[in-house]
Structure 1
Amino acid sequence: MSRLTNQIRQSMLNTVLDHAFTAKQQAADKNKIAAGEKVYTDIYGPYLIAMESLPKEFLPKASSFYIAIGGQKHKVDLSESRLIGKGHYDRYNSGAKLYVGDEQVAQEFMKAVEVVGDIKSQRDQMHREVNAVLESVHTFKKLWEVWPESKSLLEKFEQKPAIAILPAVQVNRLNAALGLPVDEVPA
């Protein structure tokens, strides 16, 4: 019967959460980046030809920049490094643009940010709940009793005891040496 150590519990917790949330998180992040690309095009699109015509390294390149929507700062992530305005990569600067919040591009970006935040909140909630279950048991046997559905995902963490391999013994030679089997019972 294997015991659950804190290290095993942590690995199991990460496995369960990754199984449940990694695909959702990646999809939400991809949508947020797509919305960020639209924001980039909205801000820099009319000026891209002029920006690219400037001397090399005149403007910084970054894979993210900051904007403000309705007075709140937001980091906009891009799929690759692109030319941006000086200081737009700095959180403490005024940002690339101030959106009121009713613009279509700003609303799409905020929806994508909200989905990412919701998934993170769900993962945090499940972290607490799964951790409580894992902390309540001390052995794999008890875990399988309490939460049998998790066995298919978590049984890889259980260390099976090594079975001692006995030396190969020739049973026929032993039987002959000991006079087995006994046909008659002595009286």
Structure 2
Amino acid sequence: MSRLTNQIRQSMLNTMLDHAFSEKQAAAKAELIAAGDALYMDHHGEHLRTMQKLPQGFLYRSSQMDTNIGGQRHAVMLSEVKCMSLASRDSRIVFVASNPVAIEYLSANNKFDDLIKQRADMSREVNAVLESVHTFKKLWEVWPESKSLLGKFEEKPAIAILPAVQVNRLNASLGLPVSDLKEAV
């Protein structure tokens, strides 16, 4: 009967959460980055051609943009390293809350944050189940549906394979069995 260690429990928890949330979080992050790129284009778009004509190293480049959207500070992730205006280096880029691009970014940001909160909530619930049992057998009794994902963590006992020793050759080498005459001497 295999026991659940803390390390196994943590791996099992991560497996369950990744199964439930990985694709959703990847999609939400992609949407958030696309909304960040839209914010970048909204602010830098009309000057982008001129910015790209400037000598290499004249403007700084970054993969994120420090913004202020309707009074809220956001470090906006971008899809790649992009040229930034000098004004954006020294202060936050300000967007009014009624800007449609900013509204779309805030919506994507809220969706991403909501998924992170859902994952944390689910983590507590799954962890409570995993901490309530000490063996795989008990886990399968309490939560049989989890075996499809977590069954890979159960170590099967190894079958002892005895070495293939030729006993007759060994006996001959050692002079076994000892005859009764030799024992008498």
Take 2:154 and 2:44, find their aligned partners in 1: how far apart are those partners?
Answer: 54
Take 2:159 and 2:33, find their aligned partners in 1: how far apart are those partners?
Answer: 52
Take 2:87 and 2:51, find their aligned partners in 1: how far apart are those partners?
Answer: 15
Partner-residue secondary structure (3-state), 1:65: strand
Partner-residue secondary structure (3-state), 1:88: helix
Residue aligning to 1:86 = 86
Show the 5 A alignment for 1:1-187.
1-86=1-86, 88=88, 94-96=91-93, 98-165=94-161
Q: Number of residues paired by the alignment?
A: 164
Ranges in structure 2 where 5+ consecutive residues have no aligned partner: 165-185
Ranges in structure 1 where 5+ consecutive residues have no aligned partner: 169-187
TM-score under structure 2 length normalisation: 0.85
> AA paired with 2:102?
A
How far apart are residue 87 of structure 1 and its match? Answer: 6.5
TM-score under structure 1 length normalisation: 0.84
Take 2:60 and 2:78, find their aligned partners in 1: how far apart are those partners?
Answer: 14
> AA paired with 2:28?
A
How far apart are residue 70 of structure 1 and its match? Answer: 1.0
Q: Percent identity?
A: 59
Q: Please identify which structure carries the higher helix content.
A: 2
Take 1:54 and 1:166, find their aligned partners in 2: how far apart are those partners?
Answer: 76
Take 1:18 and 1:101, find their aligned partners in 2: how far apart are those partners?
Answer: 34
Take 2:87 and 2:2, find their aligned partners in 1: how far apart are those partners?
Answer: 56
Off by >4 Å, runs of 4+ in structure 1: none
